Structure formats: C-alpha cells, structure tokens
Structure 1
Amino acid sequence: MSTDDTNQVDALKTETEPFVASKLGSKDHWDNVYGREINNFKDNGDIGEVWFGEAAATKMVSWVCANIEDEDARILDVGCGNGHLLLELAEEHYTNLVGTDYSAQAVELARSIALSREASITYMEQNFLDLQEVACVAGDEKFDVVLDKGTYDAICLKPKDSDDVSVDQSAINIYPMSVVGSLKDTGVFLITSCNWTEDELVSRFEPYLECIGRVKNKSFQFGGVVGQTVATVAFKKRT
C-alpha cells in the first residue's frame, strides 16, 4: 500500500461508525439465504428477491445503457447475489459480464439461473475485501464498469468480531480501494444504497473517486424534507 493510500484510509478511519453491526453483514446469513433460494429455484423456478426491488435495478441498467456504448465493455457486479442485474444487462446485449459474491450459494444460484436462461455470464466466488483476490479477478485488463447494489450497505454492517455489535471499520475502509483496484483508469463505478444518501456516498468515496452523476429514484417527503428511498451515484477514478 502506498503512502497516499495509507493517508486516505486513515482519513476514513476518523469517521464515526454509523451503524450497529447486523446479521445482514455476515457471510453465514447470506449463505443461509441463498441456500434456501437455491431450493426454491429448483422447486418452482423462482429466482428469489431482487434487492431494492425491480425499479432500482432498472435504474442502474438504464444508466449503463445510456452511458456505456460498447456492448463488449467489461462489467463487474460486486455481491451479485442471484445475478438479476447482470441478467438484465445481458438482455440489453452486453456480452462481457462478470458477477462475484463471497457466498458460494449465491454463485451457485446465479449460475443455475443464467444457465436456465441461456445467458452467457461468468460468476465466481470473491472476497471483495481481499485486495489480492480483487487483483486476481480484475486481471491486467481490469473492468470498464463496477456495479454495486447493496453490497457496500452489507459491508457497513459487518461485525468486527463474531459476537460484536460494533462494525468492522477496516472492511469499510478497504472497500473503496477494492473498487479502485478493479477499475480501468477510464472505468466507472455505479452504486445503489439504502443506508447512505447521495451526499454521504460522495463524501465517503471522495478520496478515491469523483462523482460524475446521480440517478433519480423514488422520493418521499417527511417534515417538509424531500428524500429518496435509495441513492444511486456514479463515480469515475480520480486521476
């Protein structure tokens, strides 16, 4: 890790931990979830839950279609779950799609669904908090686009220890470095979150990434303040 990277991580560490750790941040939880969904898919063909719903996924797909003209662009979906997002991109004729998840059950489910739909998508296990694994998956070519729909949210809820209610701040700090390590110099990162506002996402990734766009999602009003149920923000690597 370079001196600049170390300084950026230290800067992130000064932030207060905003959440209490949750089972949503644990690998065991997602292994169990996708284990059940594998059985559901085998029994009745149900691909399972679309995280944040169809509307949020559609917004992300629409953004990619509007901004990434090359249908052979190398696209990575981090924490792909059942692979729904990449299936939608395959329908839009994108051909170089990779999905990763740290849950072997999620990868098994995604592969089964893609096979049933004759979709050519590569799925593999990956610990996105292991920079060596990140480099291995990215390869020398790296990715034109990295997508995240809820994975950063789960990482922000990851427990520091198995029985600890405090979040694993080191995991939160490593995540943006993994995004940068996965992207080409001209690559873009598109993230959807339900835990963070647009401005919070911009602030948290600012040391590494520059905001290039925001996607309007379903809004609500409370106490005279207008907000969005989820936030979707696009970034590029800083030069």
Structure 2
Amino acid sequence: MSSDNEIGFESSKLGTKEYWDSFYKLEHNNFKDNKEDIGECWFDASNAENNMCDYIFNELSNIIIKEDVKICDLGTGNGHLLFQLFEDGLKGNLIGVDYSETSVEFAKDIALENNYNVKFFKSDILNSKDSFLIENVNSFDIILDKGTFDAISLNGEKLHDDKLGVQIYPDAVATLLKKDSILLITSCNFTETELTNHLTKNGQLKVFGKVDYPVLEFAGHKGSTICTVAFQKL
C-alpha cells in the first residue's frame, strides 16, 4: 500500500452497508425457514475461526480466566465466532457489534434459539458519535475482527475529517480497548506486514503475537492466503 489514501484496493460492493444489509436479510430469512441454517462461516476454508479460538484459549488464558472479561467482535455478522467461543466454554461478557441492522437481528435470533449467552448491538465504530463507541471507552479485554477490516478497506468513501475508514479504524479500536488488552484480527486482503504497518502507525498498538498458517509458494514467492495477528494496546 503506497499511502493512507491509496490502500491498494478498488472500491467494492463488499465495502458497503447496503450489500451487508441485503446479505444478512437473505441469511436471516433462510434461518427462519430452517433453524439449523445459521449462515456462512467466513474464512472457513482456512480454519481461521478455530485458529482464533485456539489462540484465545492458549495464548490469552490469563485474560479470559477473569470472570468479568469483556470480549467484543467487530462486524460480527451472524455472530458465529462468538457462538463458537461460547460453545467452547468461554465465560464472561460476549458482545457482537455490526453496522448492519439485519445482521444484528439475525445474530440475536440465533442466540435466542440456541440459548447462547451473547449480546448484540448495532454500532458503527467508524462514527465518532456512535453511542456504543462513546459508552465503551477503555472497556474491552479482547476485540475480535474476522474480515471486518478487510471489508472496510473496500470502501473508498471519505468519512469524518476527510479520512477513509481504514485510517479511522486503528484509533477506534484503541478507544474500545483497555490498556494492555488485545486486538485479534484475521485478514485475507492484507499481508501480515501490511496489517502490522497500518495498525501500529498510530502508536497505540504493538504486535503481541500471531497464528501460523501453511506457507504456499508460487513463482518463487512464498506467503499465506490469510493472516491472523494479535496486537496489544500500549
């Protein structure tokens, strides 16, 4: 990525709220017809969700052992990642947020149907006046992101202060995190180096760890199709 204003991706419908409203409306309707159809699990082919859960239980055990631990999933979609953590036995406050109303209603219905103790709220953390953002300053021990930053990167619309969403995101996440707490993020759009450069440039986050994925080699180049990196708030 050459600069903050040139992130290297073309704008896409995947970066629009309209797309996700429509997507989760369809998935919600499918769920109403078949309660076993809880929608798509993103990055399932890369086993990203299981890897994120394993990392939390193995590398962040000192955080999740707290009874009052607070975990927030940004761009939660159908809530699948939080439901997996709940099924795996994680206790505490599990909260999912999404700027799509249809996503939030869908996730709420899945939680109700399956007695998952997970809460969901509509929130756009890129909006500095968002009520959830304002009410949860320095609140969370762990923040999760599975593809949300990717979607944000596909929206070329300038927001407040003439900034792109990808520029606002690091500060917004840091606002929600407690000191020394963790952002665990999975991306398929950014390499580990690109993700690190972007999320640490505000001086509020540093690399804490990562998940190792199989390395592929093509035409003399090596890399992974996905990366999961943990960042700690300074």
TM-score by shorter chain over 0.5? yes
Report the equivalent of 1:43. 33
Q: Is the 1:80–1:101 contact (alpha carbons within 8 Å) kept by the matching residues of 2?
A: yes
Q: After the TM superposition, which parts of structure 1 deviate over 4 Å for at least 4 consecutive aligned residues?
A: 12-15
SS of 2:229's partner is: strand
Call closer, same or farther: CA 1:218–1:83 in 2, change over 3 Å.
Answer: farther
- One-letter amino acid matched to 2:211: V
1:65 Cα deviation after fit: 0.7
User: Equivalents in 2 of 1:169, 1:22: separation in Å?
Assistant: 18
User: Equivalents in 2 of 1:137, 1:144: separation in Å?
Assistant: 15
Report the equivalent of 1:66. 58
User: Equivalents in 1 of 2:79, 2:103: separation in Å?
Assistant: 8
Moved more, 148-157 or 15-24: 15-24
Q: Is the 1:153–1:194 contact (alpha carbons within 8 Å) kept by the matching residues of 2?
A: yes
1:84 aligns with 2:116: no
Moved more, 59-68 or 173-182: 59-68
1:224 Cα deviation after fit: 2.5
SS of 2:157's partner is: coil
Report the equivalent of 1:93. 89
User: Equivalents in 1 of 2:107, 2:59: separation in Å?
Assistant: 26
Return the match for 2:108 from 104, 107, 111: 111
Return the match for 1:57 from 29, 41, 49: 49
Call closer, same or farther: CA 1:203–1:106 in 2, change over 3 Å.
Answer: same
Return the match for 1:194 from 184, 188, 193: 188
User: Equivalents in 2 of 1:196, 1:136: separation in Å?
Assistant: 29
- Identity in percent: 40
- One-letter amino acid matched to 2:223: G
1:14 Cα deviation after fit: 4.5
Return the match for 2:223 from 199, 205, 227: 227
TM-score (structure 1 length as normaliser): 0.86
Report the equivalent of 1:164. none
CA RMSD of aligned residues (A): 1.9
SS of 1:111's partner is: helix
1:179 aligns with 2:169: no
1:71 Cα deviation after fit: 5.3
1:195 Cα deviation after fit: 0.2
Call closer, same or farther: CA 1:160–1:52 in 2, change over 3 Å.
Answer: same
Report the equivalent of 2:133. 135
User: Equivalents in 1 of 2:125, 2:171: separation in Å?
Assistant: 10
1:225 Cα deviation after fit: 2.1
1:13 Cα deviation after fit: 5.9
> 1:94-138 CA distances to partner (integer Å, 9 max, x unpaired)?
231000000010001111111111111010000010123253342
- Report how many aligned residue pairs link the two structures: 220
Q: Is the 1:26–1:159 contact (alpha carbons within 8 Å) kept by the matching residues of 2?
A: no
- One-letter amino acid matched to 1:226: K
What stretches of structure 1 of length at least 5 have no aligned partner? 1-11, 162-167
1:212 aligns with 2:208: yes
Q: Is the 1:198–1:233 contact (alpha carbons within 8 Å) kept by the matching residues of 2?
A: yes
> 1:153-192 CA distances to partner (integer Å, 9 max, x unpaired)?
000011327xxxxxx8521111101100010002100000
User: Equivalents in 2 of 1:236, 1:221: separation in Å?
Assistant: 30
SS of 2:164's partner is: helix
Call closer, same or farther: CA 1:159–1:15 in 2, change over 3 Å.
Answer: closer
Q: Is the 2:152–2:166 contact (alpha carbons within 8 Å) kept by the matching residues of 1?
A: yes
TM-score (structure 2 length as normaliser): 0.88
